[in-house]
């Protein structure tokens, strides 16, 4: 699959926002983003990451046999697991998690037993989605959707019984599946659609406003955050596609974003740098 500048910019913009803005707010007292509006932007950024993960996987890996599954697991997990273990070891050393949490993550169960690891929860959840990918894969989008609905409802039922599943699974799993079912030959039209962008923007704004004005935190809000993640994903894709056409200093904007974005991110804590490397490897 040919390289797509829009996807490159999505990576950089979301990495900078999550690592150098959201985490700085979360772990320091420099400024606060502890409100539903800011969290909605975070959901959109995370949703965009999940979307491009599913999108790129579907364009790169076909699962027609058990051999294909083994090949997929070896290639994808070799890129992620070593760096994840290094990063998770840091949390073990400082006493934030136990070693058994790492084992749970490697078999895709960390999302089902609270609490998930701060910062690295995203890696743990993407490992779960990678394990689900061979099950969800199909040459027909309708089959993938049907399988995804069954998985979603099964996890929802488990959560209703045990109430111990990380709710972010419900936010971002649909984004991952959406990336899998979006035809690659339609991506360019989809990312440029002004009507879809405006529709997503209006829905995003209405849902955020309704949540901001509603103090209830019941299970129904899971669906609202899912809508935020999906609509926010399209908004980010559309805006990043527009950025890909901009030029800065006689050159394309994307090299500048990589250069200065990397400098900004590297000024954060070392664990953020590990997270950055992980994010770069996910989408190779």
pLDDT per residue of the chain (284 residues) written in tens, 0 to 9? 567 778 888 888 888 888 778 877 776 767 777 777 788 888 999 999 999 999 999 989 999 999 999 999 888 888 888 888 888 888 788 777 778 877 877 777 778 877 777 777 888 888 899 999 999 999 898 999 999 999 998 888 887 776 678 888 889 999 999 999 988 777 777 777 777 888 888 888 877 776 655 554 555 677 788 888 999 999 999 888 888 777 655 555 555 555 544 444 444 444 444 444 444 444 45
**Rounded Cα distance, 25 and 46, in Å:** 16
What torsion do the CA atoms of 172, 282, 81, 118 make, to the nearest 10 degrees?
-50
pTM for the complete prediction? 0.81
Write phi, then psi, for 151 (nearest 5 degrees): -60, -45
Nearest by Cα to 4 from 141, 184, 193, 180: 184
Residue whose entry in the numeric block shows the structure tokens 């996987």 = 57
Q: Are 71 and 259 in contact (CB under 8 A)?
A: no
Q: Are 173 and 148 in contact (CB under 8 A)?
A: yes
């Amino acid at each position: 699959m040919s390289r797509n500048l829009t996807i490159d910019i999505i990576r950089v913009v979301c990495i900078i926002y999550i690592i150098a803005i959201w985490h700085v707010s979360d772990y320091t007292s420099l400024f606060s983003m502890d409100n539903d509006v800011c969290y909605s932007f975070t959901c959109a950024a995370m949703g965009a990451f999940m979307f491009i993960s599913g999108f790129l996987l579907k364009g790169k890996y076909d699962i027609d046999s058990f051999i294909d599954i083994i090949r997929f697991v070896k290639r994808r997990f070799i890129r992620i697991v070593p760096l994840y273990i290094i990063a998770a070891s840091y949390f073990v050393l400082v006493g934030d998690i136990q070693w058994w949490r790492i084992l749970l993550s490697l078999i895709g169960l960390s999302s089902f037993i609270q609490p998930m690891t701060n910062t690295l929860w995203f890696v743990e959840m993407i490992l779960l989605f990678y394990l689900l990918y061979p099950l969800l894969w199909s040459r027909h989008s309708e089959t993938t959707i049907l399988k995804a609905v069954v998985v979603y409802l099964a996890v929802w039922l488990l959560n209703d019984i045990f109430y111990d599943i990380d709710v972010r699974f419900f936010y971002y799993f649909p984004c991952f599946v959406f990336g899998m079912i979006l035809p690659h030959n339609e991506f360019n039209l989809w990312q440029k659609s002004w009507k879809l962008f405006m529709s997503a923007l209006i829905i995003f704004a209405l849902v955020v406003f309704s949540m901001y004005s509603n103090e209830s935190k019941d299970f129904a809000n899971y669906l609202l955050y899912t809508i935020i993640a999906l609509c926010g994903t399209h908004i980010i894709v559309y805006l990043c596609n527009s950025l890909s056409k901009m030029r800065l200093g006689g050159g394309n904007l994307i090299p500048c974003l990589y250069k200065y974005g990397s400098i900004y991110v590297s000024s954060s804590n070392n664990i953020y740098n590990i997270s950055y490397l992980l994010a770069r490897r996910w989408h190779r």
